[in-house]
A and B are shown apart, each in its own frame.
Chain A
Amino acid sequence: MNGHLTPPIHAGWAWQFSWLNLSAADLIVVGLMVVVFVLAIVIPFPDHKGGDDE
């Protein structure tokens, strides 16, 4: 490697904006979290059948 020390961690695609490092994996995880959060709000919770007070 011509004497260069290369990090063993390969995060794949990544962007660097000043102090902020963002990898594609970071964005995918955050996007997935937003999707799961919205689905948790939107999807109706199943009704309980056969409860005493229903």
Chain B
Amino acid sequence: MKKNMTRSLRLWVQNTLPMENLLPDSMPSYVDSYVYLFGILTVAALVWLIITGTVLAIFGPEWWHVSPVGHFFNSMHFWSVQAFFFFMVLHLWAQFMMAAWRGGRHWTWIGGWLLFLVSIVAGLTGYLSQNNFDSQWIGVQGKDAINSTGIGGFFNILNFGQMYGLHIFVLPMVIIVLLAIHLMLVRMHGVVEPLPNGKEEVDNGEKVAEQ
């Protein structure tokens, strides 16, 4: 058969990520725990961040600082980011304690860390994008810390346009792409099984529960 890039890609997707794995209708019984909800709660907070952030970007700083509805969306964006980091750190604790990098899942673990680090930069550019005295204070206080890293003027936190552009476009895109890869890897490898407790062997997912 002749080489064909489209066919090769289709076969690769079929073999590495079949639809039964991509959209499963059942999960191993050990997933029946609230500990496994922290990841999806982080994603839910990200969805709210994108929705409220889009509204804020449409109407602009004068709206979100003055109008009551603007204040509401500004607060929604703020509390969504609190929930985002709150659940992301809980997700990190849970995955660390169950050694979630086992069974060839190392790229899921490394990708999660990348997401965490990019999110911190997104949080910083968000604080700098508030367009108020807080953001000015953070910009003036933080510029020396950034300069001390050697980045210099490449990442100029006093440059509102650069910080705002990074915050509302570049960093969200990076987070969405990394998140898509992270979720795809979770679907490819399946949810990590619990660590053996010493008394009994790990349930390898033979017993399933309806999701």
Residues on A facing B (Cβ under 8 Å) = 7-9, 29, 32-33, 36-37, 39-41, 43, 45, 47-48, 51-54
Contact = CB atoms under 8 A, between A and B. Distances in A.
A39 to B, nearest CB: 7
Interface residues of B, number: 19
Interface stretch (B16-24, B85-93, B102-110, B148-156): B85-93
A40 B38 contact: yes
Given A33-B90, A39-B34, A9 B209 contact: no
Interface string B135-159: 0011001000000000000000000
Contact of B33 (A7, A40, A54): A40
B134 interface: yes
A49 B209 CA distance: 10
Nearest to B26: A53
DSSP class of B's interface residues: helix, strand, loop or mixed?
helix
Interface of B: 32-35, 37-38, 86, 89-90, 93-94, 133-134, 137-138, 141, 208-210
Given A40-B34, A41-B35, A33 B209 contact: no
Given A33-B89, A33-B90, A52 B32 contact: no
Contacts of B37: 40
Given A7-B137, A33-B89, A51 B210 contact: yes
